[in-house]
Amino acid sequence: MSETFRKEVTALLDAFFTERPDIFLIELNIGSDLSIKVVVDGDSGISVNDCIEVSRAIEHHLDREKYDFSLDVLSAGASAPLKLLRQYPQHVGRTLKVETAEGSFKGEFTEISDQMITLNWKERQPKAIGKGKVTVECEQKIDFDHIIKAQIEITF
C-alpha cells in the first residue's frame, strides 16, 4: 500500500471533520488492495446522509486514474462496542453492559464525567435478617481506564 495514498485519505478525512466537527472517526483501515473502510459516529448519532457526505469527501477528491480503490463508509452501529470516550454521552439513559478486570456490570447508564461512568440497576438480594429476598438499588462507578469493553444493550 502506498504511504502517499494513506496520507491523502487521512488529509481528506481531517478536512471533512474540520467542516463537520459533530462527526468523528472511529476506525480507518486501508488494505494493501487500496480498499478503504471508514467507520464514523456522531455526537448525536449518525445518519445515512452523514455517511454519504464522508464518502463523497473522499471519493470526489481522489484520482481514480492514479488509484484503483474501493470505499466503504459505515456508522459504528448499534451493536458495536463503544471504542472512544466521545461515544458515551449520547447513550446516557440506555442500558450498558461493561466488562472490567473486576467483573461485568449491566445497568442503566446514568452519568458520565471526565474520568468515569455510573451504572444503576436493581437486583434481588437475600434479606439481612430472615428468609427471602429484597429488591436493592445498586450503583457502580467505573473509571474509563478500567473498561475493557462497553456495549449498548438493545431492547425491543
Q: What is the pLDDT of residues 47-65, one digit of tens each?
A: 999 999 999 999 999 988 8
pLDDT score for 88: 93
Domain that includes residue 44, residue range: 3-75
Same domain, 31 and 91: no
- Of 43, 75, 107, which closes a domain? 75
Alpha-carbon torsion 44, 47, 51, 57, what sign?
negative
67: domain CATH number is: 3.30.300
pLDDT score for 27: 93
Ramachandran angles phi, psi of 6, nearest 5°: -60, -45
pLDDT score for 131: 87
Label residues 89-115 b or e (16+ Cβ within 10 Å = b).
ebbeeebbbbbbeeeebebbbeeeeee
Q: What is the pLDDT of residues 83-128, one digit of tens each?
A: 998 999 999 999 999 999 999 999 999 999 989 999 999 999 888 8
What value does the CA radius of gyration of the chain take, rounded to a whole number of Å?
Answer: 21
Q: What is the pLDDT of residues 10-25, one digit of tens each?
A: 999 999 999 999 999 9
- Of 75, 110, 134, which closes a domain? 75
